[in-house]
Chain A
Amino acid sequence: MTNEEIVIAIKDIIATIAPDEDLSGLELAPKLRDQIELDSMDFLDIVMELRKRYGVQVPEEDYMELATLQGCVDYLAPKLGDKQLVTA
């Protein structure tokens, strides 16, 4: 997966978890929480979906790395590099 595809993958997971949020204007740098309504339960869901779709384990101490889209790309690129994009 390229970095662009990782962004698509994360947005697709968020769209599944929070279908009523508008994701079209999501930016890379600001915190996801400040752009859309996501609570800690939703972050747990992002982690669970990553595991389900790509077999990627995100330990609890690393949840903070996923706070922004850019953070997701940086953290997940080494883990998702050889994976194919899956969308729901």
Chain B
Amino acid sequence: MQYDTLIIGAGMSGLAAGIRLAQYDRRVAILERHSLWGGLNSFYKLGGHRFDTGLHALTNYAERGARNPLTRVLRQLRIPYEDLQLGEQGHSESVFLVDGERLALRFSNGGHLLREEVAQLFPSCVAGYDRLVRELPGYDDLGRDPAPPSARRRLRELLGEPLLVEMLMLPLCYYGAAQERDLEWDQFGVLFRSIFIEGLARPAGGIKPFLDLLLSRYKEVGGELRLRSGVERILLDGDRACGVRLDDGTELVADQILSSAGLAETRRLLDPQAPVADAVGRLSFVETLCVLDRPARELGIEATITFFNDSESFCYARPDDFVDLRSGVFCTPDNYAGYVDEEPLARVTLLADHGRWTALDEPAYRARKERTAEAALGSAARFAPDVRPATIFRDVFTPRTIEHFTGHLGGAVYGSPNKCKDGSIGVRNLHLVGTDQGLVGIVGSLVSGLSMANRYALVPSGSPS
């Protein structure tokens, strides 16, 4: 069977690209190694409980009828806004310990609360903050500047207050930085707008109903999804990609290939011996998930998400240990509006070192997971009420789990630090979609899938030019 386009990976970007192409009658198949779709944003069941893997929040909140990246994406996918049943966050916070005191910068959707908090905690920074918001780079600026300046440096110039810089960087790094210690200014702009200005929401029921919407839309327009169909090799004809070979030896032929496997991973699919160390991301995470016996609010947890850091400076880098207990993310999804008929949960996410986690044998791995979960919950309890007394079930996932289920080398959740903003990796008819195209988060991944499909797989045969 000859396909117009083969898509590697049934994550957000692959599904979005697939919908777009199938909608316009392209013969398209999505090839997924696992038995479940969603990629980084998937779900699983354990001990009778259902957990989401990626989703803490859907960024880029917008009300019905407003135009922003989220509503534009839904329009392109032809998924009605109402079907998401978005529930907004109450508020979230970036919390630092300064001389043993808890200092919280709260934010909610629309950006007003954050500005009020800046004005209250850092009165001398208000003018700089307003200027920052006015000058924020947008989606259109992504990739325009070949060497975008450092976000930290730009922030220090604008705000002058190092602590405020750190408090703004913390949530944005955790929710989207593929590089250590800093962000590029254009990426900072996109993240700032997505998280601090537009804000956070959650589809009712979490990621599964959202994935169901994408998948049913894909099937409705005639797309084919092949599960348990890992791609072992991308096949070349001269300098152009012409098909793939699956793990079971099946060969499929196509005019175009879109790969969401990642930059290093796609290079390996072209050549298993390819040196890729420079392209593998260094940032991975351990997450502890706790099912609670009562709503978070009854435990005194007010914030939807608490980003925490225990000193005045924040270090976003691969730790020289199994995890870094100094900072993290504490999320209680039942503090989103519209959280009904689901179990109360708490999640703690910490930076982790992939190498240490994958070097352990099975018994040591299990023991380390338990120890780390205790330590993670203890660390979070310095910033928010302790959920351990209310926990009735617990699970932990690690860089090893992430690598296994997503195929991202190094368990790198946000992929490679080197992004290919135009999707090109030097092989004709093969383009990257997803994280390593440079957009992150669920909305970013969907934008990536749609825009790469439009640009490389739809327009060329749609217009003779």
- Interface set of A (CB-CB < 8 Å, partner B): 16-20, 37, 39, 41-42, 44-45, 47-48, 51-52, 57-61
Residues of B within 8 A of A19 (CB): 78, 80
**Are B24 and A48 within 8 A (Cβ)?**
yes
**Are A41 and B458 within 8 A (Cβ)?**
no
Residues of A within 8 A of B67 (CB): 37, 39
Check if B75 is an interface residue, CB within 8 A of chain A: yes
> Cα distance A42–B25 when bound, in Å?
18
Check if B464 is an interface residue, CB within 8 A of chain A: yes
Residues of A within 8 A of B49 (CB): none
**Are A51 and B75 within 8 A (Cβ)?**
no
User: Could you list 23 A-B pairs, sorted by A, with CB under 8 Å?
Assistant: A18-B75, A19-B78, A20-B65, A20-B81, A39-B67, A39-B72, A41-B72, A41-B76, A41-B450, A41-B454, A42-B75, A44-B458, A45-B76, A47-B462, A47-B463, A48-B462, A51-B24, A52-B24, A52-B25, A58-B463, A59-B463, A59-B464, A60-B465
Check if B381 is an interface residue, CB within 8 A of chain A: no
Check if B64 is an interface residue, CB within 8 A of chain A: yes
Residues of B within 8 A of A39 (CB): 67, 72
Instruction: Please tell me which one of the listed residues A18, A44, A57, A61 contacts residue B459 in the complex, with CB atoms under 8 A apart.
Output: A44
Residues of B within 8 A of A44 (CB): 454, 458-459
Residues of B within 8 A of A61 (CB): 465
Residues of A within 8 A of B65 (CB): 20
- Shortest CB distance B441–A (Å): 19
Residues of A within 8 A of B465 (CB): 59-61
- Shortest CB distance B222–A (Å): 12
> Cα distance A60–B464 when bound, in Å?
8
Residues of A within 8 A of B72 (CB): 39, 41
**Are B75 and A17 within 8 A (Cβ)?**
yes
> Cα distance A41–B81 when bound, in Å?
18
Q: Looking across the interface, which residue of chain B has its beta carbon closest to that of A18?
A: B75
- Interface set of B (CB-CB < 8 Å, partner A): 24-25, 64-65, 67, 72, 75-76, 78, 80-81, 450, 454, 458-459, 462-465
Task: State the main secondary structure of chain A at its contact with B.
Answer: helix
> Cα distance A18–B80 when bound, in Å?
10
> Cα distance A61–B459 when bound, in Å?
13
Residues of B within 8 A of A60 (CB): 459, 463, 465
Return the 4 tightest CB-CB contacts between A and B, nearest first. A60-B463, A59-B463, A60-B465, A48-B24
Residues of A within 8 A of B75 (CB): 17-18, 42
> Cα distance A17–B80 when bound, in Å?
11
Q: Looking across the interface, which residue of chain B has its beta carbon closest to that of A21?
A: B65
Q: A39-B72, A44-B459, A57-B464 are in contact. List 11 more A-B contacts (CB 8 A).
A: A17-B78, A20-B65, A41-B450, A42-B75, A44-B458, A45-B76, A47-B463, A48-B24, A51-B24, A59-B464, A60-B459
> Cα distance A52–B462 when bound, in Å?
10
Q: Looking across the interface, which residue of chain B has its beta carbon closest to that of A39?
A: B72
- Shortest CB distance B433–A (Å): 16
Q: Looking across the interface, which residue of chain B has its beta carbon closest to that of A42?
A: B75
Residues of A within 8 A of B24 (CB): 48, 51-52
Q: Looking across the interface, which residue of chain A has its beta carbon closest to that of B75?
A: A18
**Are A48 and B464 within 8 A (Cβ)?**
no
Residues of B within 8 A of A41 (CB): 72, 76, 450, 454
- Shortest CB distance A64–B (Å): 13
- Shortest CB distance A67–B (Å): 17
Q: Looking across the interface, which residue of chain B has its beta carbon closest to that of A62?
A: B463
- Shortest CB distance B458–A (Å): 7
Q: Looking across the interface, which residue of chain B has its beta carbon closest to that of A49?
A: B24
> Cα distance A42–B64 when bound, in Å?
18
> Cα distance A60–B454 when bound, in Å?
13
> Cα distance A58–B64 when bound, in Å?
32
Contacts A17-B75, A48-B458 hold; do A57 and B80 have CB atoms under 8 A apart? no
> Cα distance A20–B80 when bound, in Å?
9
Residues of A within 8 A of B81 (CB): 20
> Cα distance A18–B150 when bound, in Å?
38
Residue of A16, A39, A41, A59 with highest tally of chain B CB at under 10 A: A41
Residues of B within 8 A of A48 (CB): 24, 458, 462
- Shortest CB distance B148–A (Å): 24
> Cα distance A41–B78 when bound, in Å?
13
> Cα distance A41–B464 when bound, in Å?
18
Residues of A within 8 A of B464 (CB): 57, 59
Q: Looking across the interface, which residue of chain B has its beta carbon closest to that of A48?
A: B24
